[in-house]
């Protein structure tokens, strides 16, 4: 009898002292985990393909809503986690979170029996670095005469700095599918990393090593009907000129196409290349992100922006806390300096072969004229 009791006691000890390595593999097809913080916060994940993703999502959600609390994993697949294993999972989370990309997707929540948008983790696709195509500026020749594997700046967009650490906001459609993304600084290409994107709301966060002279504050409130606005950006790429351009208008509707209340409408002019640029008020506060216009003959003034509240929700979910402001007005010189130094020109680099494939499909990208049909 003593032998059986001893064996059971040994199994209980082993179960309570598990490590991430010991529990990384599982026969359970859909994994779940939950985390708690010292200040009573909570984070959970369920129905995930691996235990690691379930654990990382639970810790990420706990930290997002309780940034001052010490979040630790408490349960994995209904198994109580020992302090040692929780400590090892926390270290693994801090070390390996970067190998996953954060994507906004609809997720079914069994606790409330509803589907809701949530930030989930997906493994980044690793591209084998065999022969890296050489970058070069587009030359006066069409795609038939160029090397199919040559990387070229194929389309453009606009972005804007939101921190002094080099974080940049733009549209997802500006950077989606790009082999490389660069911004132009002092006439030179500077590579940036895509650290998060939201396909549904058409937003993306980029990270550069630049410490900008100016960066934008985000409005504490969404735009109001008839508010005066300024849109800054690079419409039509460098086809007109390489300088920053601005247009003025007002907020004409508090919803976008099809009653999309994540967006608003403005009569300030937008063109391809403006995508991802800041829409600001008289105080220089960002009230929206330029996203689209209706391109039909005889239709004018139907241009749309993504509301600042949607932008803040997206960045908060990706651990980027934006600086907010509610300045009523700044001087013309201050506004000019902010627009000039805080707004960036974005290039999407593709191969000629990539361009030819995308051009056969419907795309919102602002392709340079030499690559258009």
**Which pTM does this prediction carry?**
0.60
3-state DSSP call for residue 64?
helix
**Helix (H) / strand (E) containing 305:** strand 303-307
Average pLDDT, the chain: 80
Packing angle, helices 51-65 and 83-96, rounded to 10: 90
Contact assessment for residue 275 and residue 171, using Cβ atoms and an 8 Å cutoff? yes
How far, CA to CA in Å, does 356 sit from each of 23, 154, 327?
Answer: 46, 11, 46
Contact assessment for residue 51 and residue 76, using Cβ atoms and an 8 Å cutoff? yes
Least confident piece of the model among 37-41, 83-87, 212-216, 313-317: 37-41
Q: How many CB atoms lie within 10 A of CB 243?
A: 9
Measure the CA angle with vertex 178, ends 303 and 366; round to 5°: 30
Least confident piece of the model among 40-44, 114-118, 213-217: 114-118
Calpha distance 20→12 (Å, rounded): 17
Q: pLDDT tens-digit profile of 296-308?
A: 544 555 799 999 9
How far, CA to CA in Å, does 117 sit from each of 27, 105, 150, 315, 317?
Answer: 28, 5, 38, 14, 11
pLDDT beyond 90 at 345 = yes
Strand partners, 36: 42, 72
For CATH 2.40.10.120, the residue range(s) in the chain are 127-373
Instruction: Report which of 212, 205, 124 is spatially closest to residue 159, judged by C-alpha positions.
Output: 205
pLDDT beyond 90 at 313 = yes
3-state DSSP call for residue 291?
strand
Right CATH for 127-373 from 3.40.50.720, 1.10.510.10, 2.30.110.10, 2.40.10.120: 2.40.10.120
């Amino acid at each position: 009898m003593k032998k059986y009791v001893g064996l059971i006691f040994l199994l209980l000890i082993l179960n309570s002292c598990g490590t991430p390595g010991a529990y990384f593999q599982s026969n359970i097809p859909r994994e779940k985990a939950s985390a708690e913080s010292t200040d009573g916060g909570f984070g959970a994940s369920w129905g995930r393909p691996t235990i690691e993703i379930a654990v990382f999502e639970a810790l990420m959600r706990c930290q997002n809503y309780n940034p001052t609390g010490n979040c630790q994993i408490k349960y994995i697949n209904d198994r109580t986690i020992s302090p040692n294993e929780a400590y090892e999972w926390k270290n693994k989370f801090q070390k390996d979170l970067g190998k996953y990309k954060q994507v906004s997707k609809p997720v079914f929540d069994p606790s409330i029996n509803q589907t809701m948008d949530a930030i989930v983790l997906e493994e980044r696709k690793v591209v084998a670095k065999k022969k890296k195509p050489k970058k070069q500026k587009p030359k006066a020749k069409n795609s038939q005469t160029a090397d199919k594997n040559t990387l070229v700046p194929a389309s453009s967009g606009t972005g804007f700095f939101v921190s002094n650490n080099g974080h940049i906001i733009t549209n997802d459609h500006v950077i989606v599918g790009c082999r490389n993304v660069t911004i132009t600084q002092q006439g030179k290409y500077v590579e940036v990393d895509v650290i998060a994107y939201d396909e549904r709301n058409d937003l993306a966060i980029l990270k550069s090593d630049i410490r900008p002279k100016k960066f934008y504050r985000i409005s504490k409130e969404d735009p109001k009907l008839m508010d005066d606005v300024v849109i800054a950006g690079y419409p039509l790429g460098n086809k007109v000129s390489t300088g920053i351009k601005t247009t003025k208008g007002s907020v004409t509707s508090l919803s976008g196409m099809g009653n999309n209340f994540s967006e608003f409408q403005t009569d300030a002019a937008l063109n391809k290349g403006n995508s991802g640029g800041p829409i600001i008020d008289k105080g220089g506060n960002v009230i929206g992100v330029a996203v689209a216009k209706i391109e039909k003959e005889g239709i004018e003034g139907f241009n749309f922006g993504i509301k600042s509240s949607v932008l803040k929700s997206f960045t908060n979910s990706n651990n980027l806390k934006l600086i907010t402001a509610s300045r009523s007005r700044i001087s013309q010189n201050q506004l000019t300096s902010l627009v000039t130094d805080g707004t960036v020109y974005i290039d999407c680099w593709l191969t000629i072969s990539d361009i030819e494939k995308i051009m056969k499909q419907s795309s919102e990208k602002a392709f340079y004229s030499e690559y258009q049909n």
